[in-house]
Amino acid sequence: MALSTKRQQEKKARKQQKRKQRSNTLNPTQVSRYLSPIVESVVYRDIWERGIGTVLIARRLPGGHLLMANYLVDTWCLGVKDAFVREVTRGMLDDFLSQQPLETHSPEYCKALIMSAIEYGKANGLRPNLDKKSKQMIASIKYAPNKYSFEFGKEGKPLYINGPYDEELLSHMLEKEMIT
């Protein structure tokens, strides 16, 4: 009886290991989505004056659609406040771009801004609100971390301005060590 229980546990462990390996690997189609050519890389024009704004990167997919990553960056306190990735049409992207005052920047600049915002948030005890897709969208962009210099905070100090959904978001962003 003990032997069969042990075999069942071993079989279960092997199954879990295989499941874990499958979930950690991307199929070739998924990988190519995040390596496809970047067609847009823009930043909200008033991001430093207002303390918050969009950093957007869009990649062209085979078949004509685009993969759009939108990062909401809080330059005064939180760092990367939110991010999402969506498949959109060119028309949908153009619609979005026309609704905000955005400036075109290099993909390297956009990644440097996002990564610097992540570090700034971490310095304030917050972890970025990024999902796997948002990370994959910028993972292949090469950049030199020291090439760009960004000054976060308002007059050199973190300034938090409460948003309508920030209570739930902040509890999610707080580092585990800080939660009591």
Q: Kindly give the confidence (pLDDT) of every residue in the chain, 180 residues in length, as a single tens digit, with 9 standing for 90 and above.
A: 456 788 888 888 887 777 766 555 545 555 578 999 999 999 999 999 999 999 999 999 988 899 999 999 999 988 999 999 999 999 999 999 999 999 999 999 999 999 999 999 999 888 888 899 999 999 999 998 889 999 999 988 888 777 766 666 665 565 544 333
Query: Would you say residue 9 lies in a domain?
Result: no
Instruction: Name the residue among 58, 29, 54, 24 with its Cα closest to residue 141.
Output: 58
> Quick check: is 21 in a domain?
no
Residue 61: the pLDDT is 94
Within a domain: residue 22?
no
pLDDT value, residue 116 = 96
The per-residue pLDDT for 171 is 59
pLDDT of residue 94: 96
Domain-embedded: residue 11:
no
Domain assignment present for 1: no
Range of the domain at 71: 31-178
Indicate whether 81 belongs to any domain.
yes
Number of domains forming the structure of the chain: 1
Predicted structure pTM score: 0.76
Q: Which helix (H) or strand (E) holds 108?
A: helix 107-123
Angle between helices 107-123 and 132-139 (to 10 degrees): 130
Residue 145 lies in a domain: yes
Distance spanning both ends of the chain, measured CA to CA: 45
Helices and strands, counts by H and E, the chain = 7, 5
Residue 46 counted as domain residue = yes
